[in-house]
A = this chain, B = another copy of it.
Amino acid sequence: MGTTQLETVPEPKYWHLKTVLSEALDTEFTVGEILPNERDLAARFGVARATLRQALEQLELEGRLQRRRGVGTTVAPPRVGVAVGTEQHVWPGAAGDDWQPVDCALEVPPAAVAAALETGAEQNVHLVRRSRTTHGQPVAAELLYIAQSAVPDLSAIDAPAGAARARAVLRELQRLELEGQESAVELGSARADDARQLDRLPGAPVLVVTTRYIAEGRTAAVSVATYRADTCRLTFGDSGGVEIHQGPERRAS
Binding site for B on A (CB under 8 A): 15, 18, 58, 61-63, 79, 81, 85, 107-113, 115-116, 127, 180-189, 191, 202-203, 205, 207-208, 210, 212, 219, 222, 224, 229-230, 232-239, 241-247, 249-253
Contacts and interface: CB of A to CB of B under 8 A. Distances in A.
A185 B236 contact: yes
A27 to B, nearest CB: 15
Contacts of A58: 189, 203
Given A207-B187, A224-B245, A245-B224, A252 B108 contact: yes
Tell me how many chains of this kind the complex includes.
2
A252 B244 CA distance: 38
Given A61-B187, A184-B236, A188-B249, 14 more contacts: A15-B202, A63-B187, A81-B184, A107-B252, A108-B252, A111-B250, A112-B244, A112-B245, A184-B233, A185-B236, A186-B232, A210-B244, A212-B244, A224-B245
